[in-house]
Amino acid sequence: MPAPHVAFYEPRIPENTGNAIRMVACTGAHLHLIEPLGFDLSEPKLRRAGLDYHDLASVTVHASFEQLLSAMPGARVLAFTARAETVYADVSYRPDDVLLFGPEPTGLPEEVMAHPRVSDRVRIPMLPGRRSLNLANSAAIVTYEAWRQAGFDA
C-alpha cells in the first residue's frame, strides 16, 4: 500500500508546495492541489524547493474541492486543523485516504471542514500558545505515519 493522498486546499506559498512535491516523490503519495493556487506552478521558488523531484512526483490540480471529491468518490477525507480532538497518531489510515490541509496562515475554512464528505477533523499536537506548524512539515508528519502503518510498502 502506498502512502495516502495529500490535498492542499488553495495553497499560497510556493516553497511549501515544492517541499510537498519532494515528499510525495519520496513516499509514493499523490499530491492534489485545489485551486485557486497562490502561485504559478512554474514559479522558480516552487521548482527550487522541489529540486529535481518534479518528474518523480504524482501531482494533480483540481479546479475546486468538489472536483477533487468527484475524482475520489470512495475516499475518506480527513481534515487537518489545530481545532480538533482526534490526534493524527490515533487514526488507522487507509490507502485511499485524502489528507486535507488548508492554506497558511488561515487553515481550512469551516465550510470545507463541515462538508459531509469530511470523515473527521484531525490535529497534530503542539505546545500551548502555538498557532500552527508549517504546511509541508504537517503533511510530511502525517504522510509518514500513514505509510509507517502500512509497513512502508510502496
Which residue ranges form the domains of the chain, and what is each CATH number? 5-149 (3.40.1280.10)
Q: Are strands 30-34 and 5-9 parallel, antiparallel or unpaired?
A: parallel
The tens-digit pLDDT sequence of the chain (154 residues) is: 467 899 999 999 988 998 999 999 999 999 999 999 988 877 676 555 545 666 788 899 999 999 999 999 999 999 999 989 999 999 999 989 999 999 988 999 999 999 999 999 999 999 999 888 999 999 999 999 999 998 887 5
Q: What is the model's pLDDT at position 92? A: 97
Q: What is the model's pLDDT at position 132? A: 83
**1, three cell numbers:** 500500500
CA neighbours within 13 Å on the CB side: how many for 11? 28
